[in-house]
Structure 1
Amino acid sequence: MARARNIKPGFFKNEDLSDLTPYTRLLFVGLWCLADRDGLLEDRPKRIKGELFPYENVDINQCLQDLHEAGFILRYEVDGERFISIPKFSNHQNPHHREAISKIPKLDQDKGKQQADPNQGEVMPKNSLGLSSEFPDQGEDKPTKSRADSLIPDSLIPDSLIPDSLIPLPPITDSKDSHKKVVVVGDRDLHVFNSVIDQYKHYFNFDPNPTIRQLLHSYLDDGIQTDMIAWVMRYAAEKGKAWDYAKGTLEKMFVQGVRNAEQSEQAHQEYLRQQTAKKVVPIRGSHPREDQLPASVQKQKEMESSGAFEAKGKKIADDPELSKMLANLNGQRAAGK
């Protein structure tokens, strides 16, 4: 299975590598992805082609041989099986600590040693990569620089890069060596670690993935204090929430100008006060309170209470016209009409 590895800008400026074909250079990078944590893999050209160049017509065996002769890889055989070693692989890669231990046998370098010739300033053993560091007891007193070393001239760039990314990140620290302080925020203890990685592991119980690691350090670059990151993690953990909840809380507070734990607590308390103020007071009984009725209804109730709508108590006999109409109807009914 292919693995994510690191590639640095110095790779593209390597003069020795530039003498090889583009396919060979690309193959070299691909070998890093196929190699195990010790920089070893099986020398099986057909399988390598299927993994790295499934759609290209490339002579992988020849490309491997070119890399071998140029000193960028070492092809060797153990008990009739062929393998590939990438010199200095561990110096330029940072395999994940959970990556499986290599099961590939390493080259027995003692078998390839030759006696140094006193008439020569430097003698290389047979099938050597040209790496004096492989055979410290041979050659000049001052070791020569290997081609594998020259791949990464910018040696000051950290090796611990996010897989598939050029952004350097600090390595994951060991919690046993990390220091923390306990401060009281919101009337409760807040555990603040020196490392945001250890901070994450304290509240969420596992290592953050590379993307979260990058994000946590970007928060520090933006001026967010470590204790604020601790506060939002504690806030999420107390609610039984995961990192995404803490991330959302932090980003909302960041927009409000919050940068430390004390400001975080103050912003949270203000939020709670606003939520309480928005709550509607429940109405007791089956009728609304008088002060919640529309103005028109209140006016009508006032008129009713003042007797403006009380009945006058008039009868038909009090109206001459209605009395006459009633008498005519009674007469017609009596006549049978």
Structure 2
Amino acid sequence: MKVIQNTFLLFLFLGLIWSCRDQDANIAAPEYEVAVLVEDPLPSWNEGPAKQAIVAFVEGVTTEGSPSFVPEADRIATFDNDGNLWSEQPYYFQLQFAIDRVKAMAPDHPEWKSKQPFKALLEGDMEALMAEGEAGLIKLVMASHSGMTSEEFEAAVNNWLKTARHPRFNQPYNSLVYQPMLELLDYLRANGFTTFIVSGGGIDFMRPWTEGVYGIPPHQVVGSSIKTEFDYNDGNPVIRKLPELDFIDDKAGKPVGIHKYIGKKPIFASGNSDGDLQMMQYTASNPKGAFMLYLHHTDSEREWAYDRDSHIGGLDKGLDEAQKNGWTVIDMAKDWKMIYPFEL
């Protein structure tokens, strides 16, 4: 999906002054004065403390001679995905992908009709499905994500993104990305930052589409994973996905994932839930300085409003720590002029 951004580009030329050249008097040619209105790098953000804090931080770390200057090689920015770069309600989008995959596979698995959590899923009993807890959800992921080669799984993800529609907005799921965050990613990269996704979502679920949507290539995506193995496959080598968990990139797993896959401590971290708290704490400890950005879902009309008591993207301890430590918190209802690119 090609997301069209920077639609608020304005150029204003003022003060073009012309005069005649007096050859006898040998008058010098006139100077042309041009005043240009500088483009707003974050046009979908309302003016306010959050936007001001972001711009001030970026200007500080990119200005040589500034006490907060950070060399370009160390300008690492990490972003959670679910609920931070795209929506996550009424439940995580990857779960919907797993549900749709299980339904498509069900004719080949008659035993699922009487086996949980598949029985609840096939009967549309979401309450019973949620009652199965994390263990039940892992079973769904294992059934729907394993047994394929990496190429087959990528094709399944791309086909789902082309055909599946969100129940509220009737849009493809990868249209429900946040326009203000797309602008923020572009703004950081324009100022020498390298942007990474660090998400509890599946790494192989995100990699097929993040570059086209966010401008973040596959090798800059850190996520949860299931185990894989190399299969020579009679001279046509493939990576095959196994029905076993490998790494959970959530909560305390996020700093571990950053260390393992990025190798540098971020100076900028952005998230929306308690699952991102340890990433924020890790980033805050960077001696080069750091910026922590929490997205608070406060807009029940244009998106959803939820925080402390939500089973999806709960923000409780993280909100308290942000307030205590002076981290920047985005109030979605107040700080964002628009939510999604399709609103353009």
Q: TM-score range by the shorter chain?
A: under 0.3
Structure possessing the higher radius of gyration over alpha carbons: 1
The structure with higher relative contact order (CA 8 Å, sep 6+) is: 2
Point out the structure with the larger strand share.
2
Q: Which structure has the highest helix share of the two?
A: 1
Question: TM-score when scaled to structure 1?
Answer: 0.23
